[in-house]
Structure 1
């Protein structure tokens, strides 16, 4: 592996040759037979019974030979007809499978192959005319590569990731990403203005499928960009393909198509085979095959606006257990402090002890901004977890904190199939304002599926929103302090009930159809 440049966040890496996935190599298959339906084909005529007879006269012999030739041609014709019928049937079956596979590839290479611009700026839609059904147009069927009307569902043990934003009308729009049983990617959207009294789950719309190159069991990492008028919002999703390449999708209702490839796809970034993914704008993180954590950062402009096409891919000093789940959170409520050194923390499993651990990357670097204040200790309680157990986290603004620090909640699956919570509490008598860590085992989080993922919502921040003002991270609220996991195969939504006691309550099941 080529040596990676240590994090010089404002410095571009050498230009990487652009690749176009599957372009010019699209398989074309016709799922239908070229032959019409047939009734059972008649077999060859029966052979006449054999009799002893005197030698035939020349005329009779010629007649008999002609009869035998006729029978032979009929036999050959019958065999050919049977072969043709079998070929037509088998061709239809395998052709249909090839077409479905090809369409899935075309949905990404043909409709999402255009540049998405900076961090997913929609730009050129690239080849969208070749498969208009999977470009910006989406479906709520099981996959986006065909017109199937089968009932949508979720893959058991699917990766989960959630992001969202507060709309100008004050409601919250949430995007929950997951994978279907056919390995297609989908999102479910909730607009809190549609919630009914006593039924929070009424806000969820039918899942929307979109084209991707996702491999079975890919981890997912979603985040939200809020910047100026163009990104209001733009939803980012990172995932990996079967070659472990880090790829991205950008969703922007103001763009055409509104779902497109992200510009990070231009980078040749390969993750470890068992790598998890996590993201909070402008950061995304993955693990290399050697266990080292890398962060991928959009090279923002001087005014913290998204870059049109530039990304950094830098190695950190943190090594995690192979296949450790990762959870990144902001360490400040201010985007100007989040987008620079020490702006994020990542939770992971220690490679030797399997303990829950956290690192604030570049915490001791001399370029850490003067206005940054560490929000909580990086020494965690001794929590030993099963290998590769799900980990999720979210940060919220600490109430009435002039230093713009965050409180953080970490959810993890223990060996009993219950989800525990590690969270920060500020001691009223400490005087220093430094938070400590405490744990809870909420009843609402018990009995999760052993192969579940966990996803939690951290609200976005912005240096300059549509009104030209900065947007700080929100405090915890019943609308936004929410997490998701699978229990009994269903996706369960839970929310934080009490910051003081760490109690959680079940909201309901997220509908998957």
Structure 2
């Protein structure tokens, strides 16, 4: 299904105005989201100059221009093209005829050699013919080269590789609890042609013993993503107009930070995010992560920034205004990033110290920071959920990291338990988690069987369920406990996206199965 403006159906795209330009012709491209206009202020020029200076001119977007492609110079030589076409067709036909003749001779000689009713003279001829065919048969031994086809076998998964997701695609997931008690999850990824897609899970469609039946077919949508873009998805819940709004942030042309929104209460349901009006750039090959109202990214100079929506006095979304500020962290260049909320209450999450960011240090160790944890402007009612000093964990540089939080059981201070997943050198996913209770600490990393044997170039995505101060029922939505059943993560194994969940009763990780994709 190809989504242009709508989650469940395509409607006509607004008309494109063609601007006259010598030597160029207008075309409509699948990835033709309009590139945001750069504001002509001093800071914008500095940011653009810094980002552009970091990349060579040949570093292009998926299409060199979304609307224009070079036209052939001069008057087209249609006659010359036709002649070349006939020559090509004639050559192909000649090759086919020759191959057919050779194949017919070989098959005929084999048939003659196998015939028990042939005369002695025919037998002699057929023996000569079979000898010829035998020579051809020796060349057929090159079929042993088919053994080399075993190299295409991953050894870890015999399921056919899906064609709608690129190997090593970025992954991100967002979800919310619906008024009827079911949940809805959006899993975002990139296809082999650099387009962006999502698969949607409606948990009311899960079958007993088979959670994978909830997934609908992947949907594509307009985006302007670079190949291998990082992805960061989050969910807005507020009032009647955001039930929900899913936001996806990604890296566009010249690694410009861009966003797209999905909201069925609005027309059109798919729109560019207003962050596109900013002049923000991610580092080439860097990561980003999001949980509303925060987004964290690394700029071309390696500096980490958090981007926050300037929400209103009633905690309502403000689509027009975003604030980007540096985080006082020294991280590995192009480190993978993962975000998790530090409270179950949205009014705490949306303020200073409301989230934790996990990253790699310069010596490839896992680290965490809660920005503004020591700020005097931090809410007085905020309670730090766990120590910010982690166990000594070293893993391959630039390996993927994911994190999620769940409500701590029977905790009146609205603190969270947090899980961090990372890929080790053996392509196994390890889990670092906090202990539960009043004096939370970090456990020794574990390596669950359900998380072993991932693809070496996989990304990892984990679901942080949405929170809100004011939903459609005019009630607050707190972060769920693990018993809610949606503590789930995703990664690639044998090219397929695999879903796993944390069992709320046993505390064990359980393999759910593959996310269905063509």
TM-score using structure 1 length: 0.71
1:251 maps to which residue? 262
The residue aligned with 2:367 is 357
Structure 2 counterparts to residues 39-188 of structure 1, below 5 A = 82-85=79-82, 152-188=163-199
Q: Distance in 2 between matches of 1:310 and 1:14?
A: 18
2:432/2:442 contact within 8 Å kept: no
Aligned equivalent of 1:372: 382
Counterpart in 2 of 1:392?
402
Q: Which residue of 2 aligns with 1:381?
A: 391
Name the residue aligned to 2:149.
none
Residue 16 (structure 1) shift: 6.4
How do 1:33-44 and structure 2 match up within 5 A? Answer: none
How far apart, CA to CA, are the structure 1 residues paired with 2:86 and 2:412? 72
Maintained 8 Å contact 1:423/1:437: yes
Distance 1:227 1:14 in 2: 35
TM-aligned CA distance change 1:361 to 1:199, over 3 Å: same
Cα offsets for 1:14-70 (capped at 9, x unmatched): 9969x9x99998216899xx99xxxxxxxxxxxxxxxxxxxxxxxxxxxxxxxxxxx
Aligned equivalents of 2:396, 2:189: Cα separation in 1? 23
* Aligned residue in 1 for 2:349: 338
Match of 2:462 in 1: 456
Q: Counterpart of 1:49?
A: none
Name the CA distance, whole Å, in 2 between partners of 1:190 and 1:14: 44
Q: SS where residue 477 of structure 1 aligns? A: helix
Output the CA distance in 1 between the equivalents of 2:405 and 2:65. 44
What residue in structure 2 maps to residue 260 of structure 1?
271
* 2:273–2:319 Cα contact (<8 Å) kept: no
Take 1:376 and 1:468, find their aligned partners in 2: how far apart are those partners?
Answer: 31
Whether 2:463 is the aligned partner of 1:469: answer no
| Residue 469 (structure 1) shift | 1.4
Q: Which residue of 2 aligns with 1:409?
A: 419
Secondary structure of the structure 2 residue equivalent to 1:319: coil
Residues 223 and 280 in structure 1, CA contact (< 8 A), matched pair in contact too: yes
Q: 1:228 aligns with which of 233, 239, 260?
A: 239
Separation in structure 2 between the aligned mates of residue 367 and residue 82 of structure 1, nearest angstrom: 75
Residue 194 (structure 1) aligns with:
205
Give per-residue Cα distances to partners, 1:357-376, cap 9 Å, x unaligned.
Answer: 00000110100111001000
Whole-Å Cα distance in 2 between the matches of residues 361 and 389 of structure 1? Answer: 23
Give the whole-Å Cα distance in 1 for the aligned partners of 2:338 and 2:208.
Answer: 33
C-alpha separation in 1, matches of 2:291 and 2:178: 19
Matching residue of 1:347 = 358
Q: Tell me, in whole angstroms, the C-alpha distance in 1 between the residues paired with 2:475 and 2:86.
A: 64
- Matched residue SS, 2:380: coil
> Map of 1:197-216 to 2, 5 A cutoff?
197-216=208-227
- Three-state SS of the structure 2 residue aligned to 1:178 is strand
Q: Deviation at 1:404?
A: 0.3
CA contact (8 A) 2:460 2:491 kept: yes
Q: Measure the CA separation in 2 of the matches of 1:16 and 1:463.
A: 34
Superposition pairs of residues 237-248 of structure 1, within 5 angstroms: 237-248=248-259
Asked whether 1:486 is paired with 2:492, we answer: yes
Residues 1:512 and 2:517 are matched in the alignment: yes
Residue 85 of structure 1 aligns to a residue whose secondary structure is: helix
Runs of 5+ consecutive residues of structure 2 not aligned to the other structure: 1-40, 49-60, 88-161
Offset, 1:199 = 1.2
* Shift of residue 313, structure 1, vs aligned partner: 0.7
Q: State the distance in 1 between where 2:85 and 2:236 align.
A: 51
- Structure 1 pair 444/433, CA: closer, same or farther in 2 (3 Å)? same
Contact 1:164/1:460, CA 8 A, preserved across alignment? yes
Q: Give CA-to-partner distance per residue, 1:366-393, whole Å, 9 cap, x none.
A: 0011100100000001010100000000
Give the deviation of 1:306 after TM superposition.
0.4
Unaligned runs of 5+ in 1: 1-12, 36-79, 91-150
Q: Secondary structure at the match of 1:470?
A: coil
Aligned partner of 1:126 in structure 2 is none
What are the Cα deviations for residues 57-92 of structure 1, in whole angstroms up to 9, with x where unaligned? xxxxxxxxxxxxxxxxxxxxxxx77514158899xx
Counterparts of 2:338 and 2:462, CA distance in 1: 9
Distance 2:187 2:483 in 1: 18
CA contact (8 A) 1:240 1:246 kept: yes
Give the match for residue 38 of structure 1. none
The answer to whether the 8 Å contact 1:426/1:436 transfers is: no
1:279 is aligned to 2:286: no
1:323/1:499 CA distance change after superposition, 3 Å: farther
Partner of 1:59: none
**Residues 463-505 of structure 1, C-alpha deviations (whole Å, 9 max, x = no match):** 11111111111111363010000001100000012576x4211
Distance in 1, matches of 2:452 and 2:387, equals 28
Q: When the two structures are aligned, how many residues end up with a matched partner?
A: 387
Q: Deviations over 1:212-245 (max 9, x none)?
A: 1101100100000000110000000000013011
Corresponding residue number in structure 2 for 1:326: 337
TM-score by length of 2: 0.71
Is 1:375–1:435's contact at 8 Å kept on the other side of the alignment?
A: no
Q: 1:415, 1:213 → 2: CA distance?
A: 33
Cα displacement (A) at 1:292: 1.9
Is the CA contact (8 Å cut-off) linking 2:312 and 2:318 kept in structure 1? yes
- Is the Cα–Cα contact under 8 Å of residues 498 and 504 in structure 1 kept in the other structure? no
Quote the residue 1:108 is aligned against: none
